[in-house]
Each structure stands twice: as structure tokens, then as C-alpha cells.
Structure 1
Amino acid sequence: MEKKSEGTLAILLLALIQGVLASGAVEIKPSINPVVVGNSVTLSLSPSKILKSASWAVGESLILNWLGDQQAGVPSYNGRASVNVLTGALTLSSVKVADSGLYTVQSSDPQLKASASITVLEPISNVALRANQTTLMEFSSSAVATCSVSSGSSISFLWMNGSAEVKASGRVQLTDGGSTLTMVNVTRYDRGPFSCRAFNLISNGSSDPVTFTISYGPDNMALKINGNNTTSFPIGSNLTVLCSAQSSPPARLQWAFRGEPVNTTGPLLELLSFGKDQSGPYSCLAFNNHTNMTSNITAHIMIAEPFSGSQQQAVNVMLLPLLLLVGFLVILPDAGGSFSP
């Protein structure tokens, strides 16, 4: 009796070991993965096996089983799932996103079990970008833009500012799975154009760009006189003073002389036949009626006084000793050369 029990136990252990080995030696290979919604996919065994009795399931849900050449499927898979009883390959047609999951084949003759995952994806279509508002104020407004699609599954989003990728930072937030971009306290450099790209493993699409209008300034003012930074000119000169300011929309420019407005607006001030009575501080005042901000810059333009007669005489007196010294040094070599030992 003991020998018979030992023999039975050995047979069972051998059968178990063969089953484990068989399970480890078999893989499931999808014909395509990921799979596009509406397409078909076949899950084949590699190497191929003849399974006399087996079943297919996804997760914990049975799809079908078969015995010999007879197969039976659950109602929800009628017309969509079939098995090749000779090879054990399962074919699913008209797949849905819900068909994604872990597929397992299990057989009792021969004994094996193998699994593989497939992902079913819906292609992306009609990527669109919508902004809550496009007219903003620098340092006080926030911009919110949302990327949406008409269809698609397992979607990731990428935001672009021109050719540069937008990443989350102190002022920039990406929420709702990356589909919403929020920029707090926008600056003039947040104009864009912004676009979003939606993608999954089988498709992608990009939105049309959106550009924000951001009011800012005036600031960073500059004055150029006759194209340079010189502020001293000979009497009678014709001067062109150009004022610039960074501002959006462009700032209104008003000129003032010695603190009093002059009858000139715009970036250009012309001073013809510049005289002594025109010397003094010239100011350019900038105003932005969208931001209600002002800024100004002042240059002191003066007459370059020529030397007077007494000044010229003083210069000549100062130069005379220097000229005598230079002459003496020039003559000295010649004089030394006239001596002989």
C-alpha cells in the first residue's frame, strides 16, 4: 500500500511540475498592441499548443471556454469573440476601450496558464484651445486656457509657447491631467502664441494658437539726441530729440521744458538753431491709458561754450614751456654730435 501511495504521489508531483513548466514555457502574443477602437486583435500562444479543454478570461470575467471543437461564450461577447480550438488563439473584433485589460488563457489538457495585457485606445480628434479671456493686465491678471478634444482616450497634453515647451513653475500651473494651463500675474512675455498638443500611443493632434493681449508700461524710457547720448552742442545747432518707452498699447508722449509743457506731442522733438535761451532740462512724459501708469525721463541739453580770447591766451601760455622743451630735446642730439674727442 505504501509503495502504491508513493507512486501515486510521484505521478501527481510530476504532473504538477509538467504543468508549471508548460505554463512558464507559453507566452501570449497580441497581433497588435495598443489596439485602435473598432479594430480586431488576436491573442496567440507562443509556441502554439493544441488545447483540448481551456478557457479565456479578462480580469475575473469569463469570455469563453471550449471542450474539443465545442465552444461557448458569455452573451456580452457574442459575435465579438472566437477561439481557434486547434491553437487556442483568441480573436476579439470591434474592440472597445472597455476591452483593455489582462487576458488569461487557462487549460487543463494540457495544463497551462498564461496572461498578457492589451490596451484599446480611441484616436484623438479635434483638439481645441479655449481661453477665459485674452485681454490681460501685466502683474494683475491671470490667464486660464483649457485644451479639449472631441474624442480620444488615455490622453496626455503638451503646452507650447511659440517653440518653447511650457512647464509648471511658480506662476504656471498645469492641472486637470495637464489639460488646463493657468498663468498667475502675467507678464509681457506671456503673450504667446500658446498652443496645446494632445496625444496617446496611437494618435496626436494640435490646437490652433491663441495669443494674449497684455497691457503694460510705460517703462524703460530712453532719450536720444541726434542719435546719441551727447547733451552738449554748439550754439546754432539743429537738434532732434527722440523719446522711446516700452508700453502696450503705445504710450501717449508729451514734452516739457523746464517743467512746463510745450506744444509738442509724440516721440520727436525738434530744436532748430539751438540758442542759449533753449538750454535746460527737457522732459518726455509717457502715459498709458489702459494701465493708467505714467513715466518720464529728463535730459539737460546745454550750449557748448567756445573758448573766449582770455581762455585761449591762458592755454597758449600753458603750452609755451612745453613747446620750448620739445624743441630743446630735438636740438640736443645735433648739438652733441658736433663735438669730437
Structure 2
Amino acid sequence: MGRKSGETVAFITLALIQVLVSDAVEIKPSKNPAAVGDTLTLSLSPSTSFQSGSWAVGESQILTWLGAQQAVFPSHSGRASVDVLTGALTLSSVKVTDSGVYIVQSTDPQLKANTSITVLEAVSNVTVKATQTSLMESNSSAVITCSVSSGSSPTFLWMNGSSEVTASDRVQLTDGNSTLTITNMTRYDQGPFRCHAFNLVSNGISDSVNFTIIYGPDNMALTVNGQNTTSFTAGSNLTMLCSAQSNPPAQLQWAFKGELTNTSGPLWELLGVTKDQSGPYSCLAFNNRTNMNSMITMNILIARSSEQTVSVWLLPLLLLTGLLL
């Protein structure tokens, strides 16, 4: 009875020692996740001296060692080695299939530890493609897709210039964010749009996509001599400047008192204006892509100069004075 009790105690003690040793030792990977092609080292912490042991990944044996001798299994031939003193495993040119749970075991000292390793393929050749790049404002939708030629589980992020593109009423991100759709395109959605693709070991960025948005004409402006005033004296030179927001640039035509003139373009110059040139001046804008037009009108008053006014009042007086003399 005493012998059995002693054996039981010894067995429990041995089991506790094994558990304690297993819990006390950790596997420290040199990197995790690792990229395809990397060299990966799995070290034990704290450092321990070994007489023998083995490494496996899942159910597949990698290698075993006894003293200074080690034997590598065919599945890892030429890619795996162990430091027979510390038990550290080194894997070269790792592959995605090297991902898994790595287990180290030893009977001298008694231990067993494991860790999970992930190997990812690096992202490369990030490209974007748009269904079309010339779009009509408010009536068109843009669809851009992003893809990579290689890369494990990439995450996609879109940028418009320096700003991140996020989902909204007009913006949809689908297919794991790899597809960007913008509805009711506006003139402010020209871009440049870029796609960032990345995973835990790498990242890449695409070339930019720019959109040509057809819009206008609208937001017209008309100035005379660069001023806001509409009253000028006779004899003045007037330079009228017309502008409109439009893409492509609007065709501009001038009209006076509702009648088209032979003057086109953004500038109309009038030299030495007279009083009978008072009236409404209009600038008409037309976009031949949108087939839309717009107009702005300014009523200009040409008044007699102060010298002319004085002369008119002085003339009867001078005549009367002459007669008296």
C-alpha cells in the first residue's frame, strides 16, 4: 500500500513538473505574421539547454534532434534547421502553407510548447479600373474597381486626393471595399482617386484615376472695368468681362437691348461711349456638351460728363454777355 502511494505521488509530481515546465516556456517567433520568402526563427523563452527534442507543425513532423545530430523530414528538407543547444527552429523561404500551430517537445528537459504562425503573401501590383472617366454632372455614376496581382487577404482603402473616401448617400463601397461607386457625380468628384491595398506584412498603392465632369454653364459673373458700379460718364472706355463655370468652356455671345451683336468671347470693349449706349448688356453662355445655356444682364447708364453739363449752362450766359458788350 505504501509503495503504491509513493508511486502515485511520484507520478503526480512528475506530471506537475511537466506542466510547470510547459507553462514556463514560451515560443517567441522572430516575426508573426511573416511574409512569403522570409526567414523565420522560433526561439524558446527563457533560454533552455536541450539534449533532444522535436519540432512539428500540426500533425506534420519537421525535424528531430539528439545531442548534436538532427534529422529533417522530407517536407522541410533544405529549409529547416534547429539550434541543438537552445532548441530554436529556423525556417527559410517560408510559404503560405507554412502557416499553422508549431509544437516543440522534449524529454530532456521535459517540456511541450506551441504557438500559432501566419505566413502571408505580400501585396503587389495594385491596379484600378474605371468603367468610364467622362461623365455628365448629376446624371452619371462612376464605378472604380481595385485589384492586386498577389497578396493574402488584402484590405482596401480609397483616397480622393489626401482625403479618405468613406461611405455616404452617394458613395458605396462593396466587394470588401474593392469597388467604389459614386452616384450623381458632381464637378467636385474629379479626383484624383487612388486605391491603397495592404495586409499585415505589406502595402501598395495604385496609380490615380481622374474624371472629366461635364457641367454648366452656371454661376455667371459680369463686371465692367473691374468695378461693381453700372454708371459711367460719356467718353469713357468700357471693358466688360463675362465668365461662367462650365466644362468644356462655354461659348460666350454678347447682346445689347436684347439684340445679339457680332461680339463673342469673354471680353467686349467699348471706346468713347455715348449716352445712347445706355441700356441692358447681356452675356449669353452655351455649353455644346450639356446643351444648356445661361445668361447674365447688366443695365449700364451712360451720363453726360460734368464738363458737358457746365458748357450747356454757360452757353446762354456767354451769349447774353456778348450781346451786352
TM-score (norm 1): 0.79
> Could you tell me whether the CA contact under 8 Å between 1:27 and 1:114 is conserved in 2?
yes
Could you list the per-position Cα deviations for residues 157-214 of structure 1 after superposition, in whole angstroms to 9, with x for gaps in the alignment?
3333233333333322333333322222221111122223333344333322222111
> Could you tell me whether the CA contact under 8 Å between 2:191 and 2:210 is conserved in 1?
yes
SS in 2 for 1:20: helix
Could you list the per-position Cα deviations for residues 42-63 of structure 1 after superposition, in whole angstroms to 9, with x for gaps in the alignment?
21222344556654333x4333
Alignment partner of 1:222 is 2:224: no
Amino acid at match of 1:130: K
SS in 1 for 2:123: coil
> Could you tell me whether the CA contact under 8 Å between 2:192 and 2:210 is conserved in 1?
yes
CA 54–236 in structure 1, closer or farther in 2 if over 3 Å, else same: same
The answer for the alignment partner of 1:13 in structure 2 is 12
The answer for the alignment partner of 1:328 in structure 2 is none
Aligned-residue CA RMSD (Å): 2.8
Alignment partner of 1:257 is 2:267: no
The answer for the alignment partner of 1:151 in structure 2 is 150
Q: Flag the structure with higher strand content.
A: 2
Taking the aligned partners of 2:242 and 2:104, their CA distance within structure 1 comes to 80
Amino acid at match of 2:61: I
> Could you tell me whether the CA contact under 8 Å between 2:275 and 2:304 is conserved in 1?
no
> Could you tell me whether the CA contact under 8 Å between 1:279 and 1:301 is conserved in 2?
yes
Taking the aligned partners of 2:218 and 2:12, their CA distance within structure 1 comes to 87
Percent identity of equivalent pairs: 66
Alignment partner of 1:35 is 2:34: yes
Taking the aligned partners of 1:266 and 1:14, their CA distance within structure 2 comes to 100
Could you list the per-position Cα deviations for residues 221-276 of structure 1 after superposition, in whole angstroms to 9, with x for gaps in the alignment?
00000111111111232211110001110001111222221221111122233223
- 1:235-314 correspondence runs (5 A): 235-304=234-303
Q: CA deviation at 1:292?
A: 1.6
The answer for the alignment partner of 2:88 in structure 1 is 89
The answer for the alignment partner of 1:113 in structure 2 is 112
- 1:63-212 correspondence runs (5 A): 63-64=61-62, 66=64, 68=66, 76-84=75-83, 86-108=85-107, 110-212=109-211
CA 63–304 in structure 1, closer or farther in 2 if over 3 Å, else same: farther
Could you list the per-position Cα deviations for residues 281-318 of structure 1 after superposition, in whole angstroms to 9, with x for gaps in the alignment?
11111111111221111111112356868xx9xxxxxx
> Which has more radius of gyration?
1
SS in 2 for 1:98: helix
Taking the aligned partners of 1:9 and 1:67, their CA distance within structure 2 comes to 31
The answer for the alignment partner of 1:62 in structure 2 is 60
Q: Answer with 164-173 or 207-216: which moved more.
A: 164-173
TM-score (norm 2): 0.82
> Could you tell me whether the CA contact under 8 Å between 1:63 and 1:81 is conserved in 2?
no
SS in 2 for 1:24: helix
Q: Answer with 123-132 or 246-255: which moved more.
A: 123-132
SS in 2 for 1:140: coil
> Could you tell me whether the CA contact under 8 Å between 1:62 and 1:74 is conserved in 2?
no
Taking the aligned partners of 2:102 and 2:304, their CA distance within structure 1 comes to 96
> Could you tell me whether the CA contact under 8 Å between 1:64 and 1:71 is conserved in 2?
no
> Could you tell me whether the CA contact under 8 Å between 2:170 and 2:182 is conserved in 1?
yes
Q: CA deviation at 1:107?
A: 4.0
Q: Answer with 213-222 or 9-18: which moved more.
A: 9-18
Taking the aligned partners of 2:102 and 2:174, their CA distance within structure 1 comes to 33
Q: CA deviation at 1:129?
A: 2.4
Q: CA deviation at 1:141?
A: 1.4
Taking the aligned partners of 1:71 and 1:174, their CA distance within structure 2 comes to 53
Q: CA deviation at 1:115?
A: 2.1
> Could you tell me whether the CA contact under 8 Å between 2:102 and 2:115 is conserved in 1?
yes
> Could you tell me whether the CA contact under 8 Å between 1:217 and 1:247 is conserved in 2?
yes
Amino acid at match of 2:117: I
Q: Answer with 234-243 or 218-227: which moved more.
A: 234-243
> Could you tell me whether the CA contact under 8 Å between 2:143 and 2:179 is conserved in 1?
yes
Q: CA deviation at 1:68?
A: 4.1
